[in-house]
């Protein structure tokens, strides 16, 4: 695939190489969707012990590994936004073990703010995309994506930023889609499907530019709406509309997206939020 990628940039052979790459990507994507469905179960944390699994994964990543937050005696990383958030987990089907988590903060009351509104409101340069311009029930924030170290053992997962979902795109070119980090991809698509199922029109995120590039890689193309500044590392505010989200998922990953979305649909509909 790496050689094809280089050929695809050549003036004459380029179109042929791109067609071959497209065929290989689509073929590999079908295998990925099947592999994902066999081994990984997307779920929504509904009861407290399931939410605690998400909080514990976040504690492992954000408190113990990255040192972004102080360690807690109970091993749970929780904040005030979790009360109005939907928590998605990826589980290992055979063992039932939680392999990663992401949350979608969904304000339900006028006084409910997004995390970036509380901590980073001055980071937003584009006034048109400020969350304060929209109705509370129309917005969400995707945050706290975390994959614990025990599920990042492959060479392609040994990449700075992998704990919070960044993908080594250079490895993808060489190792093809079978080496993509299934858990992180599933979490991206899980967050996207939650927003779609809840009919949320405007999604925001405060993230590292490399994480935004990783999400763009799977077709979740956030627009940067402010400069990157130092906040737990270099981070910037991002925005994506529901229409752009729906239209953006890459064809090669549509089958995987449908797999994740279908499994979360009923669980999201049953939530009281």
Of all residues in the chain, the percent with pLDDT exceeding 90 is 48
| pLDDT class of 212 with cuts at 50, 70, 90 | confident
Question: Which position has the higher pLDDT, 211 or 48?
Answer: 48
Owning domain of residue 217: 40-270
pLDDT at 56: 97
| pLDDT class of 27 with cuts at 50, 70, 90 | low
Q: Are 141 and 130 in contact (CB under 8 A)?
A: no
pLDDT over 50 at 176, yes or no: no
Q: What is the Cα 83 distance to its own chain's centre?
A: 20
pLDDT at 86: 97
pLDDT over 80 at 217, yes or no: no
| CATH assignment of the domain containing 266 | 3.40.630.30
Q: Is residue 220 part of a domain?
A: yes
Q: Are 219 and 188 in contact (CB under 8 A)?
A: no
Which whole number is the average pLDDT over 70-92? 96
> What would the pLDDT profile of 30-55 be if each residue is shown by its tens digit?
677 777 888 889 999 999 999 999 99
Q: Is residue 167 part of a domain?
A: yes
Which whole number is the average pLDDT over 173-186? 57
Cβ neighbour number for residue 149 with a 10 Å cutoff:
13
Q: Is residue 61 part of a domain?
A: yes
Q: Is beta strand 139-146 parallel, antiparallel or unpaired with respect to 202-207?
A: parallel
Q: Is residue 139 part of a domain?
A: yes
The pTM assigned to this predicted structure is 0.80
Q: Is residue 50 part of a domain?
A: yes
Cα separation, 143 vs 138, in Å, equals 17
Q: Specify the residue for token string 């990628």.
A: 5
| pLDDT class of 205 with cuts at 50, 70, 90 | very high
Which whole number is the average pLDDT over 249-270? 87
| pLDDT class of 153 with cuts at 50, 70, 90 | low
pLDDT at 17: 38
Q: Is beta strand 40-44 parallel, antiparallel or unpaired with respect to 229-230?
A: unpaired
Cβ neighbour number for residue 40 with a 10 Å cutoff:
21
Q: Is residue 31 part of a domain?
A: no
Angstrom CA distances, 134 to 106, 130, 142, 241, stand at 13, 8, 16, 12
pLDDT over 50 at 143, yes or no: yes
Which whole number is the average pLDDT over 196-216? 90
pLDDT at 179: 37
> What would the pLDDT profile of 83-129 be if each residue is shown by its tens digit?
999 999 999 888 899 999 999 999 989 999 999 999 998 899 877 89
pLDDT over 50 at 157, yes or no: no
| pLDDT class of 181 with cuts at 50, 70, 90 | low
Q: Is residue 23 part of a domain?
A: no
Q: Is residue 21 part of a domain?
A: no
Which whole number is the average pLDDT over 245-257? 83
Which whole number is the average pLDDT over 4-14? 45
Number of domains composing the chain:
1
């Amino acid at each position: 695939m790496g050689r094809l990628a280089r050929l695809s940039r050549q003036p004459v052979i380029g179109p042929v190489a791109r067609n071959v790459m497209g065929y290989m990507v689509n073929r590999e994507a079908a295998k990925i969707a099947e592999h994902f469905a066999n081994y990984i179960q997307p779920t929504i944390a509904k009861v407290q012990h399931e939410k605690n699994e998400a909080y514990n994964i976040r504690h492992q990543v954000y408190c113990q590994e990255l040192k972004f937050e102080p360690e807690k005696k109970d091993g749970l990383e929780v904040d005030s936004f979790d009360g109005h958030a939907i928590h998605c987990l990826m589980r290992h089907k055979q063992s039932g073990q939680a392999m990663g988590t992401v949350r979608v903060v969904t304000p339900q009351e006028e006084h409910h703010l997004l995390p970036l509104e509380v901590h980073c409101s001055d980071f937003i340069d584009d006034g048109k995309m400020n969350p304060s311009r929209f109705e509370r029930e129309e917005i969400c924030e995707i945050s706290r994506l975390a994959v614990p170290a025990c599920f990042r053992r492959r060479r392609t997962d040994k990449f700075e930023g992998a704990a919070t979902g960044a993908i080594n795109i250079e490895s993808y070119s060489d190792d093809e889609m079978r080496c993509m980090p299934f858990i992180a991809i599933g979490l991206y698509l899980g967050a996207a499907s939650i927003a779609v199922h809840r009919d949320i029109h405007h999604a925001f995120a405060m993230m590292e530019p490399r994480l935004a590039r990783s999400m763009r890689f799977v077709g979740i193309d956030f627009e940067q709406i402010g400069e990157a500044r130092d906040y737990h590392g270099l981070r910037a505010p991002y925005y994506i509309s529901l229409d752009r989200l729906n239209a953006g998922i890459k064809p090669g990953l549509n089958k995987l997206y449908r797999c994740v979305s279908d499994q979360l649909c009923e669980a999201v509909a049953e939530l009281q939020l």
